[in-house]
A and B are shown apart, each in its own frame.
Chain A
Amino acid sequence: MTYYKASWAALGATLLVAACGGGDGGPKGTQDANPARGALMQSPPPRITSMTAADFTAILTVKQPSLLQLVGTPVCGVDVQYLQYGTVGAVGEATNASGALMVPTGSDAKCTGARPIVMYAHGTNVSKRYNLADFSDSTNPAYGEAVLMAALYAAQGYVVVAPNYAGYDSSPLSYHPYLNADQQSKDMIDALAAAKKALPTLVNPTTASSKLFITGYSQGGFVAMATHRAMQAAGIAVTASAPMSGPYALAAQSDATYYGNVNAGGTIFTPMIATSYQKAYGNLYSTPSDFYESAYATGIETLIPGTYDTNALITGGKLPMTALFSSTPPAPAFAAITPPTGTGSTDALFAAGFGTGNLIKNSARLAYLMDAMANPDGVVPTFTTGAPAANPQSTLRQAVKKNDLRGWTPAAPVLLCAGKGDPTVFYDLNTKLMGALWASLPAGLVTVLDVDSAPTGATDPFAAAKVGFAQSKTATINAAVAAGKDPASQVAMTYHGGLVPPFCNAAARGFFSQF
């Protein structure tokens, strides 16, 4: 009897011990839920995809042959990691953000040893799920830019650090500090610090060289320049930067908009800018309905980034397609700029910025214009000082001035690339203007490239980008004609987001390869 009891008990004990050995399923490595600036939330970061050079070549051959032709056959494999790191919001509040860390792999000499780092700042996107690390989902709104960065840089031996920005993807920040030069450069600097911590811990441990390049397109062009400026001020050595198609002279671009030169995408950019600066400075308006028409005011501060794409925002009635301003002048004196006419090929573009069902209240536009006239920008409406307004009184004009990038001088080489026909970020007001403001700097420090121009001759280092752009533009025109569509509007639709980026990006890589 006693014996039986003991054996049953022993058996029970065995089962119980066996049943207690399971793991808790938690992550390995180290976690930091409240990371300091530049600290990793997960170390090592997870690898999302790993492609050999041959794998990547095969993928590009099938899915993106024109990109393959543009960037060349991958020399290195590419490992893509998902980075989550601590950063700050617009008022210094602690938060975190995510991004992609791509490293070259393989045995080619270009892929081993200490590799240069390229930081890439992405363009405007309205979808919160934008994630440059998500190579598993070709429907992710970041997929195209992510593949471009992998093919252009990582597969040619560069480490790529590309943040998604605070407010996107897994970032808990409830808004995005859009075109906030201070916050966005901090986000970039923090992503770089986190990436450097991660590099030696990766599945394929990687060493960075001392070369640091910064580039970005559109919003990212602005962020790239702001980051170069901030790093220079902080004593972080930048080897070279290539901001592309960015609104660097933000106050001038903004004044031009309110003067009626409404850019393509203005109904998206305007609320993104207003929300960003309202969160940062708190003084743009008391309530959104001070600024926006009532049809759009409710919920507009949490609209972008959100769970939709631009089309859904417009078809869902959340934002008007193009009518930023009312077609009724805010005062009789402004009839000639509601909309402006006699501007040549841009008349149609500007006219589309006006209509019924407009986004911005006439009272808000009037207040802006009155201040713009009393305290004019040095470029808009006419070139005077070239500098932002000395003492703007409009809180919105104060905000865009605060984030205007005029007035700094790069100490490391800069390539400014854009296309002169850009209907979204005006070339003359931004790229050409910055080039002019920096014209007296030592030769070679600043290079301005208009891909929408003819090669200057046989020695033009950017001839390929210019010829490629021209061919691409011609193909767009021919396709429009064949489809019975208006060629000019088809070119305008794809100019900023489709035609220019590949060639400016390719030119940027060529520029970086000199260093």
Chain B
Amino acid sequence: MKHPLLSASVAALLACGASGSALAQATTVKFGLLNLEPNSSATAISGPFTPVDALSLKVKSKSTLSFNVAREITDNWEAELAMGLPPTHDVAVVVLNPAALPPSVAAQHGAIGAKVRQVAPTLFANYKFGDKNSALRPFVGVGINYTVFDKADSTAVNDAINGGPTTLKLEDSVGLALQAGLTYKLGGAWSVTGSLATAQVKTKLLSNTLGIERRADIKFSPTVFCLSVGYSF
């Protein structure tokens, strides 16, 4: 699988990194913890041998380690690439209409039907308020999020609901991202940052159970809270 956009964004950052030293502007690396609440909404799962409007899904929240790299452009502007250890989310079965389903399937509401890992690098342009030397600097950022669901595994529960071993595929998503946060300088090269971010993420789920293809559209309006410690150089 190739992701030209990702390659391009990484290439841009490499260029940025290469020229950074010459301009003597600070680079900050941040490590921390983030919690990602996907706030997913999905259409009913549709396809052959699938009762209409009977089943859907909900992607559950997950915490993971964050890793960001920010590069000052001016005193107030910086470019930031936000990443993290790719989180694997549980995906719960949502029963919309139990009467349309065999009792063994209707009983699976809330059960974990899939585990989905996402890689979601987000490139922000941040505007940092206040003076360069202020200890506390709020910031807002706008950026572009690229989400790749690189691993999606159906559980035994989902295999049983669908009628056999099932493969899952989710489309990549590109969308607007926004964030707001606060950075507090601890002294020296160290700082701490808290931020709240969101992004537009849309994907299409394709499930294949021994040749039976079923689909759902999923939208996310994630809430990502991140607390990290930064080191500037």
Known: A28-B167, A29-B165, A133-B49. A19 touches B1 (CB 8 A): yes
Pick from A22, A42, A82: contact of B152, CB under 8 Å: A22
**Neighbouring B residues of A19 by C-beta, 8 Å:** 1, 3, 6, 119, 148, 150
The size class of the interface chain B forms with chain A is: 35 or more
In contact, A50 and B167 (Cβ under 8 angstroms): no
B69-125 residues at the A interface, CB under 8 angstroms: 69, 83, 86, 102-104, 117, 119, 121
In contact, A16 and B208 (Cβ under 8 angstroms): no
B68: shortest Cβ distance to chain A, in Å? 11
**Neighbouring B residues of A22 by C-beta, 8 Å:** 1, 148-152, 169-170
- A185 to B208 alpha-carbon distance, docked (Å): 32
Contact with B along A47-59 (1 / 0, CB 8 A): 1111110010010
Contact with B along A23-40 (1 / 0, CB 8 A): 111111101000000000
A18, closest chain B residue (CB): B119
- A49 to B210 alpha-carbon distance, docked (Å): 14
Q: What DSSP secondary structure best describes chain B's contact surface?
A: mixed
Pick from A5, A46, A50: contact of B210, CB under 8 Å: A46
B10-31 residues at the A interface, CB under 8 angstroms: 10-11, 13-14, 17-18, 20-21, 27
Contact with B along A358-374 (1 / 0, CB 8 A): 00000000000000000
A335: shortest Cβ distance to chain B, in Å? 54
B15, closest chain A residue (CB): A8
**Neighbouring A residues of B48 by C-beta, 8 Å:** 134
In contact, A15 and B83 (Cβ under 8 angstroms): yes
A321: shortest Cβ distance to chain B, in Å? 32
- A11 to B68 alpha-carbon distance, docked (Å): 11
The size class of the interface chain A forms with chain B is: 35 or more
B32-52 residues at the A interface, CB under 8 angstroms: 48-51
Query: Within 8 Å of chain B (Cβ to Cβ): is A144?
Result: no
In contact, B164 and A29 (Cβ under 8 angstroms): yes
Pick from B2, B149, B150, B208: contact of A26, CB under 8 Å: B208
**Neighbouring A residues of B49 by C-beta, 8 Å:** 46, 48, 82, 133-137
Query: Within 8 Å of chain B (Cβ to Cβ): is A203?
Result: yes
Task: Count CB-based A-B contacts (< 8 Å).
Answer: 136
Pick from A18, A23, A49: contact of B169, CB under 8 Å: A23
In contact, B1 and A1 (Cβ under 8 angstroms): no
A31: shortest Cβ distance to chain B, in Å? 7
Query: Within 8 Å of chain A (Cβ to Cβ): is B168?
Result: yes
- A48 to B166 alpha-carbon distance, docked (Å): 13
In contact, A41 and B211 (Cβ under 8 angstroms): yes
Query: Within 8 Å of chain B (Cβ to Cβ): is A20?
Result: yes
B174: shortest Cβ distance to chain A, in Å? 13
In contact, B210 and A26 (Cβ under 8 angstroms): no
In contact, B165 and A55 (Cβ under 8 angstroms): no
Query: Within 8 Å of chain A (Cβ to Cβ): is B163?
Result: yes
- Given A24-B169, A47-B164, A49-B163, 4 extra CB contacts under 8 A: A8-B14, A19-B3, A42-B211, A203-B160
The 8 A-B pairs of least Cβ separation, nearest first, read A25-B169, A47-B163, A12-B10, A46-B210, A28-B165, A42-B211, A8-B17, A46-B163
Please give the residue numbers on chain B whose beta carbons come within 8 Å of chain A beta carbons, in ascending order.
Answer: 1-3, 6-7, 10-11, 13-14, 17-18, 20-21, 27, 48-51, 69, 83, 86, 102-104, 117, 119, 121, 148-152, 160, 162-170, 206-212
